[in-house]
Structure 1
Amino acid sequence: MTWDVLSMIGTIAFAVSGAIVAMEEEYDIFGVYILGIVTAFGGGAIRNLLIGVPVSALWDQGVFFQIAILSITAVFLFPNNLLKHWQKWGNLFDAIGLSAFAIQGAIYAVKMNLPLSAVIVAAVLTGIGGGIIRDLLARRKPMVLRAEIYALWAILIALSIGLKITATPWQLYTLFILVTVLRVLSYTYDWKLPIRKLGSN
Structure 2
Amino acid sequence: MRVVANAESKSARTLDAIGLAENALTVCNGGYFHAGGDFGPAGLEIAKGVRSDKFTDGKWIGGLMVKQGKASLVWSEEFRDSPDITEFVQCSPWLVSDGRVWPVSSPKEPEQRNHRTFILTDNEGRWAIGICKRVGLLELAHILVTPGIISEMKVKRALNLDGGPSTGLWCRNEAGAVQFEKPGWAVRNAIVVVPRDSK
Q: Give the structure-2-normalised TM-score.
A: 0.27
Higher strand share: 2
Higher helix share: 1
Could you say which structure has the greater relative contact order, defined with CA pairs below 8 angstroms and 6 or more residues apart?
2
